[in-house]
Amino acid sequence: MGPDARENTTGSAAGPPGTLAVSLIPVLQDNYVFLLERDGEAAVVDPAVAAPVDAALRQRHLQLRAILHTHHHSDHIGGTPELLRRWPGCAVVAAAADRQRIPFQTRSVADGERFTLLGEPVEVIAVPGHTRAHIAYWLPRSGHLFCGDTLFAGGCGRLFEGSAAEMHHSLQRLAALPADTRVWCAHEYTAANLGWARAVAPEEDPAAAAAIAERLQQVLEQRQRGIATVPSRIGVELATNLFLRAPDAPALARRRRHKDHWRG
């Protein structure tokens, strides 16, 4: 699988002063909130709760400029009202199709829309399947993808509001991004996802079986040391994610049903 499997295991991506830095804030049981910062300004993605985010902003002396939401679930938007009380001028970006379920958005966006965040170009990608109005944010210049619950490290989101065909199309759109794109997914599900994949890969996708087993071993070692497995990379997912590798929607549906009922 190569060195990419262990790339950036600290859960942060930082460069020289003046560049965009991304770090994760673990919250709840297995959620991650993502903190983007540059030159004293910050944005956060999917703040499930406010207190740890506010604490990180204060500790780093950052001014919160924007909150980005990928979808409407409470473990992705729950902290926004409180953050807005602390930062009343903060922009809230979310899907135009989800205005009713994310009512505090100040900028409503749709597929293909582009905007600038902390000096970085951002492209909105519609990725329905987990929910009907799910979106992802791709930062092409710095190579970051914030994909919520659509693409996970080693997995994909459950089909709560969408079809397997929608999810397959969404995943294929993300699969087409550059291989070194960092995948910031919103939950620490990697070990469970790869445990399932290792069990079914010999039959479902024998070409990927060895890479999945190797990656799972690395992930288990990371978790034993308390290291986040996020971010992943698109190239790693193409090699080891059975949902991203599903050849068609029926195959994805079969794998999703099996994973939903798998108990390891």
Catalytic residue among 46, 54, 98, 149: 149
Percent of the chain that is helix, strand, coil (3-state, to 5)? 35, 25, 40
Active site residue 149: yes
What tokens does 81 get? 């009202």
Catalytic residue among 54, 75, 98, 205: 75
> For residue 106, how far is the Cα from the chain centroid?
22
Tracing tokens 């560049």 back to the chain, one arrives at 19
Active site residue 61: no
What tokens does 83 get? 């953050």
Active site residue 30: no
What tokens does 21 get? 């830095």
CB of 129 within 8 A of CB of 165? no
Catalytic residue among 69, 72, 130, 134: 130
Give the integer Cα–Cα distance in Å for 80 and 52: 12
Catalytic residue among 69, 71, 72, 168: 71
- Number of C-alpha atoms within 13 angstroms, CB side, residue 34? 28
Catalytic residue among 76, 134, 144, 168: 76
Give the integer Cα–Cα distance in Å for 77 and 83: 10
User: Residue ranges of the alpha helices (H) in the chain?
Assistant: 51-59, 74-77, 80-86, 164-175, 190-204, 209-224, 234-240, 249-261
Catalytic residue among 73, 134, 144, 168: 73
Catalytic residue among 69, 168, 187, 205: 187
Strand 182-185 relative to strand 232-233: parallel, antiparallel, unpaired? Answer: antiparallel
Active site residue 187: yes
Active site residue 69: no
Active site residue 54: no
Catalytic residue numbers read: 71, 73, 75-76, 130, 149, 187
